[in-house]
Amino acid sequence: MVSNDSSPADREVSYSCADGESVSVKFFPAQGVASLKRNGQAIELQQQPVASGFAYSNGPNTIRGKGSELMLEIGRMVPIACKAT
């Protein structure tokens, strides 16, 4: 039975990153947003047009991915590679 609490397309994915950090992303495709949870803080990101995979950004914070791979870009830091757990 399908729950009516949220759209079936809404989903939350946990990622383990190369720097030892764990983050999670809740995707809301119908609204064109994603919520990145990092260090106990939720950051709302807007969906960006891409040829394949996905990208969400609010300017200084960007996530890009395809399949189980995620690149986390925070400000001018080197992007952090993450993988779905």
pLDDT in tens, the chain (85 residues): 444 455 557 999 999 999 999 999 999 989 999 999 999 999 999 999 999 999 999 999 999 999 999 999 999 999 999 999 9
With vertex at residue 73, the alpha carbon angle to CA 69 and CA 74, rounded to the nearest 5 degrees, is 145
67 found inside a domain: yes
Q: Are 13 and 22 in contact (CB under 8 A)?
A: no
16 found inside a domain: yes
pTM of the model: 0.86
pLDDT at 33: 97
3 found inside a domain: no
**Whole domain around residue 48: which residue ranges?**
11-84
24 found inside a domain: yes
Query: Considering its fold, how many domains does the chain have in total?
Result: 1
Written as one letter, the residue type at 4 is N
Long-range contact pairs involving 24-30 (C-beta distance under 8 Å, separation at least 24) = 25/56, 25/63, 25/70, 27/54
CATH code, domain carrying 47:
2.40.128
